[in-house]
Amino acid sequence: MKEKFGAKKTSLKELPKISDRVSFIYVEHAKINRVDSAITVADSRGIVRIPAAMIGVLLLGPGTDISHRAVELIGDTGTSMVWVGERGVRQYAHGRSLAHSTRFLEKQAKLVSNSRSRLKVARKMYQMRFPNEDVSALTMQQLRGREGARIRKVYSLQAKKYKIPWTKREYNPENFEDGTPVNQALSAANVALYGLVHSVIVALGASPGLGFVHTGHDLSFVYDVADLYKAETTIPIAFEIAANSAPEDDIGKLTRLRVRDSFVDGKLMARIVKDIQYLLDIEKSEELLVDILALWDDKERLVKHGVNYEENF
């Protein structure tokens, strides 16, 4: 019999529950390999060894090299991989989802395929924006009108705060440079937010294209979810960047970096996971709990919580 090398393939019953996992680990400018049942993350400072079965989602940032053996192990343990920009400001590609079942996708498809349930989810999205109002009886036209007024007010308040002339949100998707500085900043900030939302959606096994408010686009659900956070994240950042930038500055880059830095603590990512499960009516027993965001890059060390890591520096 041919001798077998390495650790045996992990069976499903041996895997930790999703709720027990380290939820997301972000890696950039490093090499990822495999030693037995652990992946190793190495850069010029040394090596960190992480048990693969304890990783829920591995976010691969710029400058990351990963070996075939590491991917083999990650696939065996059911870990999700997403190739992203810095701190998740872009979503380039993804492997398998975190879930071993299709329950998220099935629930989403069922809800979006029925006009009543679709309207119910859309109302839940708008209710999250208007926590002090009852929108349960409003039509989609009324909801969109209410949301339009809310966003116009947010734009107006930010323009007044930063003393920026403002008329309306106006941009040309085919010509970024054609927009005013604040409109350029808004476009760049929103694209960065879409990247993070997209990564979370595919990691959960949901479809980025099955939207409840938006429709007809492969990122419809991404736009739905991202709209929940623009008023408190991308819009204030965009107006701040526009107010403090010089004519020669690269507005797009400055905005992207600023949004990237706002993602660092992982709070928004955890909130997105929680909100998607609320919108899709995922039962408590099946929820993915996101308590930890572990980061490992060339700027800071791995944050550990309840897991033993072997470090060689």
Binding-site residue numbers are 147, 214, 227
Instruction: Please tell me the distance from the alpha carbon of residue 66 to that of residue 230, in angstroms, as a whole number.
Output: 34
| Residue length of the chain | 313
Tell me the chain's radius of gyration from C-alpha atoms.
Answer: 21
- Using DSSP bridges, classify how beta strands 293-296 and 30-35 pair: parallel, antiparallel or unpaired: unpaired
Q: Which residues pair with 82 in a beta bridge?
A: 59, 94
- Which residue numbers belong to the known binding site for Mn(2+)? 147, 214, 227
Angle of the 103-113 helix axis to the 115-129 helix axis, nearest 10: 100
- Positive/negative CA dihedral, 17, 22, 226, 191: negative
Q: What angle do CA 191, 198, 19 make, to 5 degrees?
A: 140
**If phi over 0 gives left and psi between -120 and 50 gives alpha, with beta otherwise, what is residue 87?**
left
Instruction: Please tell me the distance from the alpha carbon of residue 124 to that of residue 104, in angstroms, as a whole number.
Output: 17
Three-class DSSP labels, 108-154: HHHHHHCHHHHHHHHHHHHHHHCCCCCCCCCCHHHHHHHHHHHHHHH
